[in-house]
Structure 1
Amino acid sequence: MSRMPLTLAVAALATAAAALWPPQGAGHEAEIPATEEALGERLFFDVNLSANRTQSCATCHDPATGFADPRGMASPGDDGVSLGDRNAPTATYPALTPRFHRGADGEWVGGQFLDGRAATLEKQAGGPPLNPVEMGMADEAAVVARLREDPVYVEAFPALYGDGVLDDEGAAYDAMTRAIAAFERTDLFAPFSSKYDRWLRGEAELTDEEELGRLLFFSPQFTNCAECHQIGTRQMDPAETFTDYSYHNIGTPENRRLREMNGVPLGTVDEGLAGNPAVDDPAQRHKFRTPTLRNVAVTGPYMHNGVFEDLRTVVLFYNTYNTRSEARKINPETGAPFGPPMVPQTISLEELEQGPALDDQRIDALVAFLETLTDARYEPLLDAAD
């Protein structure tokens, strides 16, 4: 099965996205949000919360494209020059991510961002405005000043959080993050409307290929997928997010193309979990939180650094841990072998080496199943990427 990489189908995506997420009607900007969720929605789309007034949360987490950024391997910053070193992950189903904590086995679990450095959704919401390579505001005071200059916020914040809230910079910033997090907890972000969900409810039928992919995905005898991409041990959970929120180094190769663009020296290790201020453990180097697979087919490019364009390439990469054939270890996007791991000492080999090698039929079946995890409103994007 051959698919056009999603990032090469931006024009088609834009056309499809227009129907999925129409612009707000006239007068919307003057409406006073009456709920925390409505205020959060306005803040999520507000470019005035960035230094040059060009970037909002939705810029890199576009609701028309799976709350991800289809523009490339990493997102450009508000300054028009900066380019990050990580791919912007989908922001769908964020409220179901647990707080950053140690699990019963002592391993780190949950948290926001790929390294869990924000323990909660509120903490995550406060990060991008102050990140110099993202929205680029100088400090919380600068953000609150932008809130105070908007008459809608001047009326909405006191109504929802109490008189004088905008006079206290810390309280105002916390209120802003609470509102954004409240919006991100709405069903818009987590509709559970995919073909897979409809199949669970008896409202749709899987094709033979999709059903084969489903069986392979959940079978520990044939793949290692559900080892990390399943929230629990019970199959067919109607609230399945397809991640256990654990942290792993899977040996993802360096994205040399991205680093030639953003100026990060080749060979620089992204410390991942080990770079989280709450973690002081070299054994966690280059480990990243297991992402949800919901909407994975329409939110490429893939991996923490956007190194792979196509979802099938991702499955082929995982298969390199199980196959002995050198021909099966070729990256179809480059025609060369997959690059070496950045930190081989911390790779989760125990999880990755489970199961036999997969042939093309089974790889295609897994991709077909992963496509069924696409929320209904994004299903037109599957066609746009063909």
Structure 2
Amino acid sequence: MNQPSDAVLPPSLPAGGEPGPVLTRRSWLTLPAWSAAGIVLTAVIFSAYALVYPERMPVAIGALVEAITGANPQPVHLSRPQQAPLSAVALLGKEIFYDQTLSASGTQSCASCHSPKNSYGPDNAFPVQLGGAHMSDAGYRPPPSLTYLYRQAPFSIGPDQGDTDAPVDLTQLASQATGAQRAQKTALAAPAAPAMVPQGGLFWDGRADTLQDQAIGPLTNPVEMANATPEDVARKLLQTKYLDQFKQIFGAGIVANPSLLISEAMFAVGRYQTEDSSFHAFTSKYDYWLEGKARLTHAELHGLQLFNDKDKANCAGCHLSQPGKDGLPPVFTDAQYEALGVPRNPAIPANKNPEFFDMGVCGPFREDLAKQTQYCGMFLTPTLRNVANRKVFFHNGVYHDLKQVMDFYNLRNTSPEKIYPRDASGKVQKYNDLPPRYHANVDVADAPFDRKLGEQPAMTEQDVQDIIAFMKTLSDGYKVEGS
């Protein structure tokens, strides 16, 4: 579908044609309150335009309707996941998801860090969460939201491997990618999947391939639920009020097999996340706008245009905004990994050690690609759905609101002194959360990072506010008029 744009209308010229009148969608928004004079002027311009360029009028009229009303001139049908009562396995998973007795402290469950009231992310603004046996141990990264993960593919490097049972050697694939030119990220262009880049997987570094694997990790993490061994987890599962559900679903023999008991328990948690629509509701204002059931404000429309503008914000270069050809709603991520060079967060206890660096795909929590240093500093691109509900941003929680995030993108290269601290000599410590030997991994090619020191930023202050207004339309729970 055509996304809103400030591109000159008509968007193209016939062979040998001359430029027509400069009719931009933003220009329509600036007519003062669509006064009577403005409407008359518009009618005159469009009448003249129709005489000269009749073949382009449908596009121009669609843009005009969109600008005046905020409606999507080309609504689509979205194929949302089917809603049905939860299966017995998913109901069991829901019990486990909220069960605090499975933690060493007896006070922490999956929902403690993934609150349903906050889009299954943390319900506080701490950069990292506390856990451990006494709920006093700090984590290393803010827990990402669990929403919109149902379509996430397993971690891979390079092109989709397709349906194959052959094991994939990630180290070999990564070695083959060494020296390969980094693919450009361009809004509204097809993702550069053939490039040898990491993609898919769960957690910030992609070390889990399935929701089941992701659920198992926190159980024995010493700074999270902090069980000493898997056997400890199994013993706690045997003492739960829902043990009979295990037996009914998986057979009575499950109680005699601790590893299978844990595996099936976390499989159930994964099924709960897959089946329960609250994890992928697709009820945002933007979804309804795509379907022609809601209208965007002028600020939201302009924000969407900038979001999709490859020379401006270029957000859609990584946070894909268009529905798929199969009607699947966009989840606002290409599921690839980027090194953005966000500033170090001194509020994370681990960062008090100047020798500690969280480098994402190449470690320290992921070990299998530690030698593939071309990926140091790369972290998973998260979904932007429900982004306005988040209280911390990026893998280290360094920012706490969308204005700070947008300023980082806008000013990182043009005014780095506004983003990074200075050392004792007064020098700006750019990319200070990544060892200098890996600074070449940081993206400087894609807009808005393609601006140079001292140049005009890609976005104005008003642009930033309009993009934020658009991102707020990605929050679930929007009520359509008449529903």
Relative to the length of structure 2, the TM-score reads 0.66
Q: 3-state DSSP class of the match of 1:147?
A: helix
The structure 1 residue matched to 2:285, chosen from 184, 191, 195, is 195
Matched ranges for 1:23-172 at <5 A: 35-71=88-124, 72-78=126-132, 79-104=134-159, 105-153=195-243, 155-172=244-261
Conservation of the 8 A alpha-carbon contact between 1:76 and 1:82: yes
Deviation at 1:66?
Answer: 1.3
CA distance in 2, matches of 1:307, 1:339: 15
> Which has the larger displacement, 71-80 or 242-251?
71-80
Deviation at 1:319?
Answer: 0.7
Conservation of the 8 A alpha-carbon contact between 1:330 and 1:337: no
User: Are residues 1:179 and 2:274 paired?
Assistant: no
1:359 counterpart residue number? 460
The AA in structure 2 aligned to 1:37 is A
Deviation at 1:75?
Answer: 0.6
Greater fraction of residues in helix: 1
2:360 counterpart residue number? 272
Matched-pair identity in %: 32
Matched ranges for 1:288-299 at <5 A: 288-299=379-390
Deviation at 1:34?
Answer: 6.5
Deviation at 1:231?
Answer: 7.1
The AA in structure 2 aligned to 1:88 is P
2:445 counterpart residue number? 350
1:126–1:189 CA distance, 2 compared to 1 (3 A): same
Q: 3-state DSSP class of the match of 1:96?
A: coil
CA distance in 2, matches of 1:185, 1:337: 49
CA distance in 2, matches of 1:215, 1:90: 26
Conservation of the 8 A alpha-carbon contact between 1:253 and 1:338: no
Q: 3-state DSSP class of the match of 1:376?
A: coil
Conservation of the 8 A alpha-carbon contact between 2:152 and 2:201: yes
User: Are residues 1:319 and 2:410 paired?
Assistant: yes
> Which has the larger displacement, 88-97 or 235-244?
235-244
CA distance in 2, matches of 1:238, 1:100: 21
The AA in structure 2 aligned to 1:175 is E
The structure 1 residue matched to 2:418, chosen from 305, 310, 330, is 330
The AA in structure 1 aligned to 2:353 is P
- Report the number of matched residues: 339
1:166–1:231 CA distance, 2 compared to 1 (3 A): farther
The structure 1 residue matched to 2:475, chosen from 361, 371, 374, is 374
2:396 counterpart residue number? 305
Deviation at 1:215?
Answer: 0.7
> Which has the larger displacement, 92-101 or 274-283?
274-283
> Which has the larger displacement, 169-178 or 340-349?
340-349
Relative to the length of structure 1, the TM-score reads 0.82
1:34–1:198 CA distance, 2 compared to 1 (3 A): closer
CA distance in 2, matches of 1:40, 1:85: 26
Higher relative contact order (CA 8 A, sep 6+): 1
1:267–1:368 CA distance, 2 compared to 1 (3 A): farther
CA distance in 2, matches of 1:62, 1:256: 25
Conservation of the 8 A alpha-carbon contact between 1:34 and 1:156: no
Deviation at 1:330?
Answer: 2.4
CA distance in 2, matches of 1:237, 1:278: 36
Conservation of the 8 A alpha-carbon contact between 1:317 and 1:338: no
CA distance in 1, matches of 2:87, 2:376: 45
The AA in structure 1 aligned to 2:471 is L
- 5+ unaligned residues in a row in structure 1: which ranges? 1-32, 379-386
CA distance in 1, matches of 2:322, 2:470: 19
Deviations 1:192-213 (A, max 9, x none): 0011111111221111000000
The AA in structure 2 aligned to 1:268 is F
Q: 3-state DSSP class of the match of 2:348?
A: helix
The AA in structure 2 aligned to 1:140 is P
1:232–1:130 CA distance, 2 compared to 1 (3 A): farther
CA RMSD of aligned residues (A): 2.7
1:158–1:339 CA distance, 2 compared to 1 (3 A): farther
Conservation of the 8 A alpha-carbon contact between 1:224 and 1:354: no
1:274–1:66 CA distance, 2 compared to 1 (3 A): same
The AA in structure 1 aligned to 2:361 is L
Conservation of the 8 A alpha-carbon contact between 2:101 and 2:236: yes
Deviation at 1:320?
Answer: 1.7
Q: 3-state DSSP class of the match of 1:272?
A: coil
1:44–1:264 CA distance, 2 compared to 1 (3 A): farther
CA distance in 1, matches of 2:273, 2:296: 30
4+ runs deviating over 6 angstroms: none
CA distance in 2, matches of 1:354, 1:184: 38
1:203–1:311 CA distance, 2 compared to 1 (3 A): same
CA distance in 2, matches of 1:87, 1:48: 23
1:131–1:377 CA distance, 2 compared to 1 (3 A): farther
The AA in structure 1 aligned to 2:127 is M
The AA in structure 1 aligned to 2:356 is T
The AA in structure 1 aligned to 2:381 is T
